[in-house]
Each structure stands twice: as structure tokens, then as C-alpha cells.
């Protein structure tokens, strides 16, 4: 068995009599024993000329190496809410390879008396230690915190959003050289704009030379307390080229947009609406028969992670997306999120070894993933059920809902308009996002889908089942009203068009699967009262969603024709995106686990904000990959 490790290291701490934590592995403290709050203000806030340089900015981004206890973040937050301009938004991005747990955070925060209110809010939203990217919202102050829980040499190559300020707060270079390497400084330059400022406590020669070589002008300034000097720097160089594939480009970002048109009323459309609504934009959501009218309209949905034995950006995405979804639904209220947990049983003989390796590799923390004591499966206490219709209603609260069948979307004079079946305009907005489920419209007609018809069943039990959800080849969910939701069939169909009706044959298949999954629940089910519902889910050939900007297909085929011969000419530039038009489709059966973070990612990209996705994960979900593969395939015929 391999020594694969998918989790995060735990910081080994000692504590001073004044409550200051020290990391034993690096023999260094997280903040000064002598007035750490004042030192942070001097080194980082003053060092980056804050708050002066954010005063005229509607959006401002700070990136940090070394989150630690969160002291720099809390000090910045306190200053931001005291000096923030009306409507301005601050993005704070930080990298931490060995995050604190909540209890140790609370102990460390005891030294920050003036910041206790903010520290408590941070701990309340603090994510579980799952490797990957986590996004936390403090909307009351226009503040978003994005945490990269991974080492700096893994995180920086996955970051794409330029910063306005850098806080360089790793352990001392003599104790943690990896945080101050030439590669790190090169990435700082790539992720900086002209005038981007950087600040650090370290005045080591290697730090000064590294910053200067990367294009920063560096000055020594008076330090704080026993540290006589500190560094300030300003970027004056030319950023290295971006790492993103030119065939899968970012949208340029529309920072002036005021309105959004979301076409689709399922969990994808609701999550997109929620992300734009929290930013104060006007949202219109168009759906055929009302929110949750198609695949998102089942009586309950299981929210669980896809667990892969890999430490890749894509694999990390599925784990952190699940965690984000669970916290999102939990924030909506008890009537929406049911934290029942999940027992996942082997569906195939190979699953037994895979489950054992996932637990040993710490794909999720021990509190979130462990062996099932009752058999060869695994237990996921953090998984649960969401009630789709109230969840969709809560996420889209504040949006204008229009029930209509759309025939096309067209842009004119910088605005997108949805047109109805009688060629009448329905609604228009600055930005449009297509979240069509299994439907289609012209701008996404070239995407590749696999359509799965699924029938889910529901019946009453003779005694309510309040235990964990069960999952193998089928699933079973017990609801508070004493009913059991179980199924579901998955049959590939060629086209999603036409009326679909439940069949007695598929209901019998669900009953047979339930008997295999849990003979006990099958025995308690009132089989003469079972009902069923059928819908179609759209998935993609590579099992990754389509999430991102739509592109000009004709331009792409002409520009990237060299893909037919297996190479890319670097002189062709990047693909052209369609102005302010995005897609979120192909979620398959994982819509409720993936949509909350992908809706946030769509909104961030559309408005030119930092993304919550790792670069390679975002590229893997870019819709342009379909055309790349078609070009490559055409050369093989």
C-alpha cells in the first residue's frame, strides 16, 4: 500500500506565557511577543501604504504568504471597515500550508483583545482542514477571504489574479527557505500590477535581492520594537507571461456591470443568482415552469464529495466544492440542510481497497471521513441532504423570476436579451449566464453532452428513518415526514427532448436496488404507496462541468487549427471570448455539491474578481476544451 497523503500537516505548537504560539518545526513565532498587533500595523499596513491606496478603489486585492493565526487579516479587516468607501469590496487571499484548528485559533486570538469580535466571526466560518481553496464571505463589510490550504510552491502556480498589495509573512528565511525562493519571487511578479506594493519584516539579503531581480524596487524602513528595519517594495518590472493556456482564456471582466440574466432555474441558476445578488447586482432568472422545475426538483438531494486517490487541482476541487456546498446550505437554515451524514458502501469489490486508502491518505480530515464501524464502507459525517426547492428559493431570493420558454439569446448595444418562442424580448442585462441543465440554446449547441434519464422513487416507511444516508450503486435518504427517497436509475438517452414519464419497470428497479442496499429499509417500506419522478441530467464526456466564458467558435477553429497536428503555435494569441456570456452546465448528478462554488466562480470571473478555483481546475472546466479535442480528433481520421 502506498504512502499517499492527501491531507494537510498539523502545526506543532508551543505557547509562551503570554499566549503567543510558536511553530516547533520552524523554531519561530507566529507574531511578536511584544505587541504583535502594533507590529502588524507597522510592517504590513503601513508598509503597503494602507489605507491610503485603497481609498479610490472600488475593488482591492491583498495577497499574503503565511496566514498563520490570521492576525494580519484581522488587522486589515478592522482597518477596512473603518475606512472603506461605499460599495467597495476587498479580496484578501492567503496561503497556509499547515492551518490552525479552531481551538488553537481561539487560543491565539486571546492575545488580540481589540479584535475579538472579528476573530470570533472568522472562527465561526473557519473551514475544515481540507487541502485546496476555500472561500469565506463577510458580506456585511464587503470582504471576501480566499484561503489556499497548501504549500506556497503548490499554491502560487495555481493563482491567476493580480494583487494590489502583498504581505510576505512566512517564517524567517533562515528557517523556511521555501517561502522565499526565486520561484516564489517570480510568481509574485507574475501576479502583480505596475505599482503593486509588497511589505515584509525580513531584511535578509536574499529577500532584497530576490524582490529586486523580480522587478520590485526595494527600500529599508524603520522597523518596530526590537526589529530595527523592515522592507517595503513596489513593482516596477514587467510581469512574466500568464500560465493559463491561451486556448482556454479568462473573460476580461466587466467591472461596470449592473445587471445579470440567468437562464435556468435549477441549482446552477440559483447558485449563480446568489453569487451576483450578494454583490448587489440586479438579477433576472428565467425558467420554464418555475425554480426547481426539472432535475433539481427531486424531493431531496444527497450532497457528498467525489473522492479520488489523487492530489491534483481537479481532485482537490471536488473535495473543497463539497465542503463549500455543505456550509452554504447550512447557512440557509435547518429547513433546508439536513446534516444526516452518509455511509458509503462498496458498489464494486475494488471499492473496499479504495475506501481503505482514502481513509489512510486523509482525503478528508478524520472528523469528516473514517471507516464505517458496521462494515467495509466509509462514514462521512459532514455529508447530508438538501431540500431542493426551498434551497433554490433561498439562493435566488431577491432575483426577479420569469417563467418563460427561451428560443434564443442575442447581444445588442452591449446588452444580452432573451427572446421567447414568439420572437418577443423577455428580459435583458449586461451579463448573461446559461445554466440550462439538459436544455440547449445556440451559444452552447456545440458543447458535447451525455444525457441520463433518471427515475427516483419515494414511499412511506412504517417507522421514520433518521439515520445516515446510504450510498452504493443506489442511495436511500430518510426524510422527517417518515418517507424514504431512493433510487435512482440512470439510463443514457440520445436526446432530452419530449415528455418523460415514470415507468413501473424503473420503479421496480429502484425497489430491487433498495433491497440490495438495505434489506431493513426495504422491509419497512410501504410498497403499495411508492411514487416516482423522472428527469434528465446532462453530464460531459470527461465528467468535468462546463464552467466559464463562452468563446467565438469560428475564431477558435481558425486560430487553433494547429491542434489538428498535435501542437500549438504560440504566435496565434489567445481565444476570443463572447462578450459577457458564460455557461454553467454538465453538472450531472453532482449539481448540489458543485453549483455553489461554481456559481461564485462565474460571478467572480464575470466581474473581474479573484477566482475561488485553482488554475488547472478552472482550465479543466473551460468549455473550449471541447473544440480542442475535436480538432485533435479530426487529425486522426
Range 71-100 average pLDDT: 97
459 shares a domain with 365:
no
Nearest to 481 by CA among 385, 396, 556: 385
User: How far apart are the C-alpha atoms of 466 and 452, rounded to whole Å?
Assistant: 30
Q: For 326-347, what is the mean pLDDT? A: 94
Residue reference for cell 471576501: 144
Q: All 3 cell numbers of residue 103?
A: 481551538
Answer yes or no: is 228 within a domain.
Answer: yes
Asked if 112 and 190 sit in the same domain, the reply is yes
Residues 310 and 288 placed together within one structural domain of the fold: yes
**Beta-strand pair 450-460/491-493:** antiparallel
Domain boundary residue among 216, 235, 254?
235
pLDDT in tens, 175-205: 999 999 999 999 999 999 999 999 999 999 9
Give me the sign of the Cα torsion angle 590, 386, 284, 406: positive
Among 24-33, 106-115, 455-464, the least confident range: 24-33
Whether residue 226 has pLDDT greater than 80: no
For residue 390, the surrounding DSSP H or E stretch is helix 388-395
For the four alpha carbons of 314, 320, 326 and 332, in that order, the dihedral sign comes to negative
**CA geometry: angle at 147 spanning 143 and 152, to 5°?**
135
Does position 516 have pLDDT exceeding 50, yes or no? yes
Per-residue pLDDT band at 275 (split at 50, 70, 90): very high
Q: Tell me, what's the pLDDT at 361? A: 97
Question: For residue range 131-185, what is the model confidence (pLDDT) as tens digits?
Answer: 999 999 999 999 999 999 999 999 999 999 999 999 999 999 999 999 999 999 9
> Which of 13, 7, 78, 12 minimizes the C-alpha distance to 40?
78
Buried b (16+ CB within 10 A) or exposed e, 462-484: eeebeebbbbbebbbbbbeeebb
Q: Do 460 and 588 belong together in one domain?
A: no
Phi-psi region of 566 (alpha: psi -120 to 50; beta: other; left: phi over 0): left
Cα-Cα-Cα-Cα dihedral sign, residues 25, 30, 34, 40: positive
Q: What is the pLDDT of residue 117?
A: 97
Q: What is the pLDDT of residue 311?
A: 98
Does residue 310 sit in the same domain as residue 320?
A: yes
Same domain, 293 and 421: yes
Each residue's pLDDT tens digit, 607-634: 999 999 999 999 999 999 999 999 888 7
Question: Above 60 in pLDDT, residue 637?
Answer: no
In degrees rounded to 5, what are phi and psi of residue 235? -80, 125
Residue 234, pLDDT > 50, answer yes
238/304 Cα distance (integer angstroms):
44
The span from the CA of 35 to the CA of 492, in Å, is 64
- 351-370 confidence digits (pLDDT tens): 999 999 999 999 999 999 99
Q: Are 295 and 537 in contact (CB under 8 A)?
A: yes
Q: Tell me the pairing of strands 577-585 and 431-434.
A: parallel
The answer to whether the beta carbons of residues 6 and 131 sit under 8 Å apart is yes
Asked if residue 5 is part of any domain, the answer here is no
Domain-located, residue 201: yes
Count of structural domains, the chain: 4
Q: Which three cell numbers stand for residue 306?
A: 467525489
The per-residue pLDDT for range 34-59, each reduced to its tens digit, is 778 998 999 999 999 999 999 989 99
CB atoms within 10 A of CB 70: 29
The helix (H) or strand (E) run that includes residue 117 is: helix 116-125
486 and 583 inside one domain? no
In a domain, 7, yes or no: no
Domain shared by 137 and 222, yes or no: yes
> For residue 268, is pLDDT > 60?
yes
Residue 2: inside a domain: no
Is residue 522 within 8 A of residue 513, CB to CB? The reply is: no
8 Å CB contact between 320 and 130: yes
CA-nearest of 495, 491, 434, 489 to 266 is 434
Q: Residue 428 and residue 406: Cα distance in Å, rounded?
A: 12
Last residue of some domain: 381, 412, 441? 381
Domain boundary among 171, 204, 235: 235
Domain match, 55 and 187 both: yes
* pLDDT, position 227: 80
Orientation angle between helical segments 591-606 and 267-277, nearest 10 degrees:
40
349/492 same-domain check? no
Residue 355: give the domain boundaries: 342-381
CATH number of the CATH domain containing 294: 3.50.50.60
pLDDT at residue 635 tops 90: no
Q: The CATH number of the domain where 154 resides is what? A: 3.40.50.150
- Characterise 186 by phi-psi region: left (phi > 0), alpha (psi -120 to 50), beta (else): alpha
Helix axes 205-213, 182-190, angle to 10 degrees: 40
How far apart (Å, rounded) are the C-alpha atoms in residues 71 and 173? 20
CA torsion 171-176-181-185 (nearest 10°) is -10
C-alpha cell at 576: 476570443
Same domain, 149 and 61: yes
pLDDT for position 33: 77
∠ Cα 485 491 496 (to 5°): 100
Question: Is a pLDDT exceeding 50 seen at residue 1?
Answer: no
In whole angstroms, what is the distance from residue 224 CA to residue 39 CA? 6
| Bridge partners for 222 per DSSP | 229
CA distance 244 to 246: 6
Same-domain pairing of 590 and 501: no
- Using the predicted structure, report yes or no on whether residue 509 has a pLDDT greater than 90: yes
For residues 294 and 460, the model is more confident at: 460
What's the whole-number mean pLDDT along residues 237-252? 93
CATH number for position 523: 3.30.9.10
pLDDT confidence bin for 572, thresholds 50/70/90? confident
Q: Which helix (H) or strand (E) holds 22?
A: strand 21-23
Amino acid at each position: 500500500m502506498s504512502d499517499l497523503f492527501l491531507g494537510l500537516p498539523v502545526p506543532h505548537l508551543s505557547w509562551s506565557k503570554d499566549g503567543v504560539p510558536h511553530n516547533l518545526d520552524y523554531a519561530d513565532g507566529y507574531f511578536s511577543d511584544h505587541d504583535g498587533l502594533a507590529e502588524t500595523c507597522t510592517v504590513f499596513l503601513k508598509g503597503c501604504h494602507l489605507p491610503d491606496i485603497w481609498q479610490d478603489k472600488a475593488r482591492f486585492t491583498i495577497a499574503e504568504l503565511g496566514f498563520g493565526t490570521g492576525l494580519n487579516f484581522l488587522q486589515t479587516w478592522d482597518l477596512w471597515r473603518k475606512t472603506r468607501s461605499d460599495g467597495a469590496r476587498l479580496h484578501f487571499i492567503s496561503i497556509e500550508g499547515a492551518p490552525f484548528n479552531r481551538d488553537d485559533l481561539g487560543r491565539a486570538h486571546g492575545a488580540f483583545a481589540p479584535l475579538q469580535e472579528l476573530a470570533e466571526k472568522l472562527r465561526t466560518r473557519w473551514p475544515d482542514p481540507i487541502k485546496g481553496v476555500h472561500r469565506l464571505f463577510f458580506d456585511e463589510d464587503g470582504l471576501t477571504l480566499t484561503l489556499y490550504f497548501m504549500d506556497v510552491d503548490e499554491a502560487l502556480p495555481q493563482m491567476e489574479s493580480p494583487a494590489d498589495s502583498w504581505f510576505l509573512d512566512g517564517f524567517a528565511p533562515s528557517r523556511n527557505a521555501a517561502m522565499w525562493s526565486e520561484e516564489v519571487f517570480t510568481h509574485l511578479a507574475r501576479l502583480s500590477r505596475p505599482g503593486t506594493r509588497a511589505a515584509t519584516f525580513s531584511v535578509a539579503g536574499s529577500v532584497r535581492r530576490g524582490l529586486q531581480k523580480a522587478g520590485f524596487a526595494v527600500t529599508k524602513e524603520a522597523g518596530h520594537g526590537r526589529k530595527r528595519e523592515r522592507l517595503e517594495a513596489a513593482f516596477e518590472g514587467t510581469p512574466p507571461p500568464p500560465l493559463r493556456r491561451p486556448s482556454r482564456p479568462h473573460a476580461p471582466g466587466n467591472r461596470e456591470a449592473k445587471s445579470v440574466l440567468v437562464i435556468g432555474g435549477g441549482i446552477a441558476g440559483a447558485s449563480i443568482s446568489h453569487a451576483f445578488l450578494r454583490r448587489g447586482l440586479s438579477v433576472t432568472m428565467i425558467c420554464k415552469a418555475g425554480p426547481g422545475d426539472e432535475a433539481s426538483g427531486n424531493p431531496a438531494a444527497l450532497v457528498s464529495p467525489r473522492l479520488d486517490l489523487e492530489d491534483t487541482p481537479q481532485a482537490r476541487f471536488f473535495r473543497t466544492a463539497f465542503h463549500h456546498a455543505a456550509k452554504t446550505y447550512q447557512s440557509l437554515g435547518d429547513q433546508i440542510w439536513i446534516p444526516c451524514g452518509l455511509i458509503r458502501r462498496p458498489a464494486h469489490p475494488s471499492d473496499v481497497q479504495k475506501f481503505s486508502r482514502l481513509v489512510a491518505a486523509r482525503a478528508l480530515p478524520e472528523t469528516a471521513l473514517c471507516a464505517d464501524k458496521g462494515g467495509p464502507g466509509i462514514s462521512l459525517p459532514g455529508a447530508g441532504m438538501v431540500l431542493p426547492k426551498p434551497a433554490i428559493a433561498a439562493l435566488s431570493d431577491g432575483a426577479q423570476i420569469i417563467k418563460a420558454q427561451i428560443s434564443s439569446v442575442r447581444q445588442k448595444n452591449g446588452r444580452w436579451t432573451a427572446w421567447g418562442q414568439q420572437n418577443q424580448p423577455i428580459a435583458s442585462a449586461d451579463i448573461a449566464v446559461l445554466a440550462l441543465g439538459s436544455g440547449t440554446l445556440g451559444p452552447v449547441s456545440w458543447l458535447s453532452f451525455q444525457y441520463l434519464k433518471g427515475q427516483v422513487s419515494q414511499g412511506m416507511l412504517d417507522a421514520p428513518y433518521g439515520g445516515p444516508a446510504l450510498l452504493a450503486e443506489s442511495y436511500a435518504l430518510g426524510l422527517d415526514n417518515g418517507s424514504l427517497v431512493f433510487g435512482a436509475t440512470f439510463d443514457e438517452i440520445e436526446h432530452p427532448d419530449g415528455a418523460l414519464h415514470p415507468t413501473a419497470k424503473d420503479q421496480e428497479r429502484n425497489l430491487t436496488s433498495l433491497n440490495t442496499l438495505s434489506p431493513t429499509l426495504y422491509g419497512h417500506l410501504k410498497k403499495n404507496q411508492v411514487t416516482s419522478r423522472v428527469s434528465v441530467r446532462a453530464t460531459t464526456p470527461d465528467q468535468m462541468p462546463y464552467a466559464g466564458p463562452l468563446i467565438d467558435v469560428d475564431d477558435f477553429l481558425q486560430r487553433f487549427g494547429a491542434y489538428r497536428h498535435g501542437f500549438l503555435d504560440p504566435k496565434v494569441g489567445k481565444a476570443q471570448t463572447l462578450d459577457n456570456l458564460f455557461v454553467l452546465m454538465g453538472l450531472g448528478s453532482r449539481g448540489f455539491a458543485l453549483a455553489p462554488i461554481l456559481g461564485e466562480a462565474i460571478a467572480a470571473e464575470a466581474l473581474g474578481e479573484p477566482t475561488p478555483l485553482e488554475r488547472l481546475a478552472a482550465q479543466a472546466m473551460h468549455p473550449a476544451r471541447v473544440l480542442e479535442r475535436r480538432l485533435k480528433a479530426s487529425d486522426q481520421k
